[in-house]
Amino acid sequence: MNIREMLPQDKHDFEAVRKLSVLSNEELKEILPQLFEWLQDGNWPISRSVEDLLLRFGEELIPHIQNVFKTKDPQWEYFMLSGLISRLPSQYLIILKDDLERILENPTKSETLEELDEVIVPLLNKIQ
């Protein structure tokens, strides 16, 4: 079985997410970057279900989240901050604190236009 063939094919592919949810974390590790791509738009119907699946990984999510911050895609950052990251326990937010503070204190022009500060301040308040 090629796990990549099990990835969702479109934003309504709940069946693929359901099938992936029965696999072990070890089996899913290989496709974490591709699963993160389904969080690029929080309005996509499967976005929340993919978040639910990813939340099983805990601290293993941190490098993948940091990679999203490096994409310079403020919409993706916004949906990550207001979705998956907002659902993480505080212990993981502490690990992301430097990244969050960088966006807050030294945002790119597009991060400012996307008003990421509005979702970052409450996240930082959770760990202060």
What is the arithmetic mean of pLDDT over 42-60? 97
**114 Cβ contact list (under 8 Å, min separation 6):** 74, 75, 77, 78
CATH, range 14-127: 1.25.40.750
Confidence of residue 83 (pLDDT cuts 50, 70, 90): very high
Helical spans, DSSP H, in 13-116: 14-21, 25-28, 32-37, 47-54, 62-70, 74-82, 90-105, 109-113
pLDDT for residue 5:
95
Q: Is residue 72 over pLDDT 90?
A: no
Q: Is residue 20 over pLDDT 90?
A: yes
